[in-house]
């Protein structure tokens, strides 16, 4: 099975089928966050710094950095954000923009091997983004839509993903450096969106042999109790072969779903990470052996 290797200046991680799930923190994104957008446009990156630290502390494996602010100098802001985040954390970054000039500005200052978010199957987009990926030795997220839009048919989205992988190979970009986003649809609007996503994720793993990612919260858009639904989706998607997701690691319910899935998939040896996160501290004056002994006595009395 293929691993996608990304790195910061000092830390390398592998996204892969036999690896712990890769949580890509989504919070450094001004879309829908008016205060963050205003601050970044004004050169105030204090909230970017706080979001970066909080997400890593919460368990993010990588961070997505986006500077898409209308009428602002996105290339300059993205490059400045990347330099700041890399100065305070050691996790690899996903450089997120729809503007090619911003992607190049970010890649030019990035230390390590970045993940670029993203390229679609549109010919015009392939011809400008893939050369950048090759030039900077990055990995790339491949979005499963093209000139015809986003198909509701998962087989059509599979063919778009296959096309992007093949076009990447034409530029000398290996399959391992293409992470496919199968485009998860809102289940509240399309009742079979979850079922279709699982089917497509399995095909991408078994037939195309690529790692996958998605915007995890898309599945629950418009529905109540979104965190519980996202957690259910993530555990099932991981079981189907999904290897990463762009998500909010500050939501404990979703992180518990991811960590539990890692346990069930055998990607958390001896459940060590689960135990570190969730083991209750022993009561004062009672060591772990005493706590176990107390449980044994209670079972015998029962």
Q: What is the model's pLDDT at position 283?
A: 59
The vertex-124 CA angle with 123 and 129, nearest 5°, equals 100
Contact 69, 261 (CB under 8 A): no
Give the chain's mean pLDDT.
94
**Within 10 A of 100 (CB to CB), how many other CB atoms are there?**
14
Contact indicator for 117, 154 with CB cutoff of 8 Å: no
Q: What is the largest CA-CA distance in the chain?
A: 72
Taking only Cα atoms into account, the Rg of the chain, rounded to an integer number of angstroms, comes to 20
Task: Note the pLDDT tens digit of each residue in 164-183.
Answer: 999 999 999 999 999 999 99
Q: Residue 27 pLDDT > 80, yes or no?
A: yes
Helix H, strand E, coil C: the string for the chain is: CCEEEEECCCCEEEEECCCCCEEEEEEECCCCCHHHHHHHHCCCCHHHHHHHHHHHHHCCCEEEEECCCCCCCHHHHHHHHHHHHHHHCCCCEEEECCCHHHHHHHHHHCCCCCEEEEECCCHHHHHHHHHHHHHHCCEEEEECCECCECCCCHHHHHHHHHHHHHHHHHCCCCHHHEEEECCCCCCCCCCCHHHHHHHHHHHHHHHHCCEECCEHHHHHCCCCCHHHHHHHHHHHHHHHCCCEEEECCCCHHHHHHHHHHHHHCCCCHHHHHHHHHHCCCCCCCCCHHHHHHHHHHHHHHC
Mean pLDDT of 25-54: 97
Q: What is the pLDDT of residues 80-138, one digit of tens each?
A: 999 999 999 999 999 999 999 999 999 999 999 999 999 999 999 999 999 999 999 99
> Greater confidence, 292 or 79?
79
Residue 278 burial (C-beta neighbours within 10 Å; 0-12, 13-18, 19+): exposed
- What's the confidence (pLDDT) of residue 293? 47
* Distance in angstroms (rounded) separating the CA atoms of residues 299 and 22: 39
Beta carbons within 10 angstroms of residue 286's beta carbon: 12
The answer to whether the beta carbons of residues 283 and 274 sit under 8 Å apart is no
- Read off the pLDDT of each residue in 250-278 and give the average, rounded to a whole number: 97
What is the structure's pLDDT at 280?
A: 81
Q: Is the pLDDT of residue 262 over 90?
A: yes
Q: Show the CA angle centred on residue 60, arms to residues 73 and 220, nearest 5°.
A: 85
Q: Render pLDDT for 44-62 as a digit per residue (tens, 0 to 9).
A: 999 999 999 999 999 999 9
Residue 246 pairs in a beta bridge with: 24, 215
């Amino acid at each position: 099975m293929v691993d996608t290797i990304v790195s910061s200046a000092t830390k390398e991680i592998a996204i892969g089928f036999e690896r712990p799930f890769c949580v890509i923190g989504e919070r450094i994104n001004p879309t829908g966050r008016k205060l963050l957008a205003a601050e970044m446009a004004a050169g105030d990156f204090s909230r970017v710094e706080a979001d970066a630290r909080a997400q890593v502390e919460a368990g993010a494996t990588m961070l997505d950095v986006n500077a898409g602010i209308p009428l602002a100098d996105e290339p300059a802001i993205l490059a400045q954000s990347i330099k700041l985040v890399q100065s305070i954390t050691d996790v690899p970054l996903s450089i997120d923009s729809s503007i090619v000039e911003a992607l190049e500005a970010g890649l030019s200052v990035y230390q390590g091997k970045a993940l670029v978010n993203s390229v679609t199957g549109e010919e015009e987009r392939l011809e400008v983004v893939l050369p950048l990926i090759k030039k900077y030795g990055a990995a790339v997220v491949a979005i499963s839509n093209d000139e015809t839009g986003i198909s509701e048919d998962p087989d059509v989205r599979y063919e778009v993903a296959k096309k992007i992988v093949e076009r990447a190979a034409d530029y000398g970009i290996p399959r391992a450096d293409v992470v496919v986003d199968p485009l998860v649809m809102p289940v509240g609007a399309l009742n079979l969106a979850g079922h279709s996503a699982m089917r497509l994720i399995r095909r991408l793993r078994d037939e195309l042999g690529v790692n996958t990612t998605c915007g995890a919260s898309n599945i629950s858009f418009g529905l109540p109790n979104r965190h519980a639904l996202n957690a259910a989706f993530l555990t099932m998607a991981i079981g189907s072969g999904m290897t990463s997701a762009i998500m909010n690691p500050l939501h404990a319910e979703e992180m518990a779903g991811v960590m539990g899935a890692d346990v069930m998939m055998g990607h958390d040896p001896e459940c060590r990470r689960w135990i570190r996160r969730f083991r209750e501290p022993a009561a004062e004056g009672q060591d772990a052996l005493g706590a176990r002994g107390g449980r044994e006595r209670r079972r015998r009395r029962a």
